[in-house]
Amino acid sequence: MTDAHETGRLNRRHFLGSGTAIGVALAADGVAQAAPVRAPAIGALPMPATRDDLPLRATVEDPSRLLLDRSWRFHIGDIPMPEIRGHGWSYNSAKAGQAQGAAAMQYDDSDWSEVDLPHDWASTMPFEESANVSQGYRRRGFGWYRRALRLDPADRGRYLELQFGGIATNATIWFNGSIVAHNWSGYNSVYVDITDLARFGDDLNSIVVRVDAQTMEGWWYEGAGLYRHVWLAKRDATYIATDGIHADPRRAADGTWSVPVTATLGNIGKIPAEASIEVSLIDPDGRTITTQTAAARLPSLKPGSATLTIPVPAPLLWSIDAPTLYTLRTRLMRGGKPVDERTLRIGFRTLRFDAATGFHLNDRPLKIKGTCNHQDHAGVGVAVPDALWDWRLRRLKDLGCNAIRFAHSAIATEVLDACDRLGFLVMSENRNFNTSPDYMDQLEWLVRRDRNRPSVFMWSVFNEEPMQGTPAGYEMVRRMSVAVKALDDSRPVTAAMNSGMFAPVNVSQAVDVVGFNYQRDQYDRFHAANPTLPLTSSEDTSSFMTRGAWETDRAAHVMASYDEEPADWGSTHREGWKSVAERPFVAGTFVWTGFDYHGEPTPFEWPSAGSYFGIMDLCGFPKMAFYLHRAQWVDDVPLLDLMPHWNWPGREGQAIKVMALTNVESVRLMLNGGLIGEQKVDRYTMPSWQVPYAPGRLEAIGYRGGREVARSVVETTGAPVALRITPDRRAMAADGEDVQPCTIDAVDARGRHVPTANLDVTFAVSGGAIIGLGNGDPVSHEAEQGNRRRLFNGLAQVIVRAGGGGAGTVKLSASAAGLRPATSTVRRLATPARPSVAPARMTLTVQDWRQSPAATAKPSPDIVLADNDMNSWLYVRAGEIQPPQGSGRWTVLRAKLTPHRGTRERGGTIVFKDLVGRGEIWIDGKRAATKPDFAATTLRAAFPPGPGERIVTLLLESDGTVASGLGGLVFVED
């Protein structure tokens, strides 16, 4: 006989892939200790046990980039542009570099808060009934971000680019007072070439982003702000363009493989450059298989390109079970030296959709067992750190899910790196169905970014568009398909249709694979009418469950977890899967959804604020649907899970519905040693019994070929006596980015998980920080930040970020009234932070000056320049001396400025670096300092406090040989 605990351990080992069966034991003092304990029976703590490994960093490092996530200034709410009046101001405000209001380079942001990215301000907003239900009753509104950026003088002459991973939702971006981008979607990246406007050394640069998150692109929670990474790329003047490598492996008809590589290149130099690319293919063990080169000519300020093909005789294939990745390193070479380099991970695999037999990966049929997922998580909204994504994807892997549709938009590139690495197929979906240039740019960006990825296997051009059954919809998809194929001809184009597929002219006629959202009852009819068209479900199920709840109470917004509560347009999980599994011509399923998400709390509205559709809840805690699908989707390892829990005080003698979620052949159910019954397993419906409740031990034994292969136990527990913390990992990286979710539950006197515990818990952390909390209750209005959370049906989650201070420990403790507290200590490993841009503080720089014509006698400081006179005086910048027009040794320099708060309130100092010439400095009509010598020196003068705009006037006399003027920068220091 197999020991029940042993079976549980085997199962976990399989799904965790970590080879560990070590749990976390709770010592008498409540301290969680890593100890080799017998793995708990399945269902005891419905989460994986603690692992030892660090998450693999999701991103393929690009040595030309620095992370720009730290130390942004943030203001919540809009800051209207000032009403511009007067001709001079109107004229000047219309010029490059002269952005006004909060976009101005010199705007005073000293009272803004400081935030690190990823950042989603909507997840910090209160739940308000008057706010939009679809967005989870959170007001999003507007926000501003500012960041000072210091560029090393050595960066002069290099190609410089800002890369915003994603900004929710519309954004205007200024660099040094000039608008450099308008962006019209919250899901695409924005790349900004800042080379021409960049300043160096103490002349700091200013990045400003105004975010309009009032605009919506969806009917789900979309978050708000700079919620993905921001990068600064510094490259040689001749460089490889961002997303500029196209390297998608191909298998020829004779079975041989090759990697055609095209590099898109740039050159900011003044003359064309001769260069070459050198491409190396490196196998999974780090051995370079081959290196090929090709010549490239780079015209000045125009894209150049180079192409070559790498033959690869017999590569190891990429698959969902063995996601073998090769490394493709492309170097741009000049004069025999590499000047830029980009590294990709690529995989060798074939895709084929067959109208009769569905999807084939590497020539083998593979049923798509997919889930649709939005991009938010409990506690953090859409600002999901890379390590948390790694965890979420591993939860999907544990489920037996092999494909993901990121609904309904592009996902962060780091997430796709993890999909390549972990072995998921990804339906990559375009957000906006629109063929106008701005929106076609979004689609083309998506394809260009992701067309090398082994994980990406379909391009979906839309989700459920009302025009899908019209000639206009057809014409639009035809155009989008052509645009996609111009960039990538290796993956099929699909569209997620929920209607119109039988209309005379409809979108199914313009795609390669037809996607059905729901419409289960049309599978056969459509296939009969279109026997040569491949078909997949692109979305199905939409069934409601509250995690850990077993009785529907619509008044309390609770949905039972027996898989009996589908949406009107959906199906139960079991029916949805059966319809797909039984039809070979339906390539697969994409269950709506893998995880719950904020917003769209169907079938309820206020006070429900989160969805009920997930196979897992908002924290990634498994619902019954998790065990159900896992038992349906995984064949090799025997699985058996009993539902529900067995704590039903007061229900003695009453029938409780018990389900076994299993992939074995038959299951015997026992209660307190007595036989309840034995059933053959129908994996579509799953065995169930009505069991008269008696407290004690409910046990299921699973058989294959008459032999016991699995066992599952649920037991009636005692009252909770202690808290328990189960971190996901025992070690964290002290790189300032690593996070992990910790599961909090309550246990009884025998250390058993109490599934009905609902109590308030308070947390404290040292050596790290809590970045978010959740419990999976869609009705909860508790804050997602802070240090308190209620256990919901026995569970809560705390997401902890390790501090960046080198080796040490991260200690999380939890306490609740009347319970023994718990502490979990994990190691913090000294891990270098990723190369990132140092924080910088913007002092007020007085850059823009007007300079009078030369005069032979000392001018008056009150000399007037008419507001509408744009031509008599020169425009000069501090640091760049221009000889005055006319003759004479004297000149006047004048600037207007509004000092920052410190100077306004307490006064400050104005500093002139390398001021050339002798003369006087006047501030608001009063002499502030005198410069007695002609030579270039740094001059300081007290800047008196005072409100509003101030006028600084310099009267400068040259020695007659060199021009006087502002040889260096001018600052006003608080």
Which residues are at the interface with ligand GAL (CB under 6 A)? Answer: 219, 407, 463-464, 517, 539, 542, 567, 570, 592, 600, 602
464 is catalytic: yes
Choice between 431 and 730, CB closer to ligand GAL: 431
- Closest distance between ligand GAL and the C-beta of residue 772, in Å? 24
Catalytic residue among 341, 414, 464, 565: 464
- Closest distance between ligand GAL and the C-beta of residue 401, in Å? 18
**Integer Cα distance of 813 and 219 in angstroms:** 37
SS3 750: coil
Can you spell out the DSSP letters for 339-364?
A: EEEEEEEE----EEEETTTEEEETTE
Burial class (CB in 10 A: 0-12, 13-18, 19+), 381: buried
Q: How far is CA 340 from CA 276, 278, 329, 337, in A?
A: 11, 11, 11, 9
Beta strands in 779-889 (DSSP E): 788-790, 795-802, 808-815, 822-829, 844-845, 848-851, 874-877
CA-CA-CA-CA torsion sign (192, 196, 199, 200): positive
**Integer Cα distance of 60 and 420 in angstroms:** 11
**Length of the chain measured in residues:** 974
Can you spell out the DSSP letters for 522-574?
A: GHHHHHHH-TTS-EEEEEEE-B---TT--S-BGGGTB--SSS--B-TTS--HH
Catalytic residue among 222, 539, 600, 784: 539
The two structure tokens encoding residue 554: 């619509």
- Closest distance between ligand GAL and the C-beta of residue 517, in Å? 6
**Integer Cα distance of 514 and 477 in angstroms:** 12
Contact (CB, 8 A) for 281 and 328: yes
Choice between 599 and 965, CB closer to ligand GAL: 599
Choice between 104 and 496, CB closer to ligand GAL: 496
Contact (CB, 8 A) for 64 and 233: yes
CA dihedral 26, 31, 34, 36 (to 10 degrees): -30
Choice between 232 and 513, CB closer to ligand GAL: 513
Beta-sheet strand order (sheet of 739-747)? 722-727, 739-747, 795-802, 768-774
- Closest distance between ligand GAL and the C-beta of residue 567, in Å? 5
Choice between 516 and 646, CB closer to ligand GAL: 516
Choice between 341 and 565, CB closer to ligand GAL: 565
539 is catalytic: yes
- Closest distance between ligand GAL and the C-beta of residue 270, in Å? 51
User: What type of residue sits at position 54?
Assistant: L
* Closest residue to bound ligand GAL by CB: 542
**Integer Cα distance of 501 and 484 in angstroms:** 22
Choice between 231 and 544, CB closer to ligand GAL: 544
- Closest distance between ligand GAL and the C-beta of residue 611, in Å? 8
- Closest distance between ligand GAL and the C-beta of residue 371, in Å? 13
Q: Closest Cα partner for 121 from 52, 48, 72, 179?
A: 72
**Integer Cα distance of 707 and 297 in angstroms:** 70
- Closest distance between ligand GAL and the C-beta of residue 653, in Å? 39
Choice between 405 and 711, CB closer to ligand GAL: 405
DSSP type of residue 624: H
Q: How far is CA 619 from CA 376, 596, 813, in A?
A: 10, 8, 19
**Integer Cα distance of 852 and 864 in angstroms:** 10
Beta-sheet strand order (sheet of 351-354)? 351-354, 358-361, 364-365
Query: Which residues are known catalytic residues?
Result: 464, 539
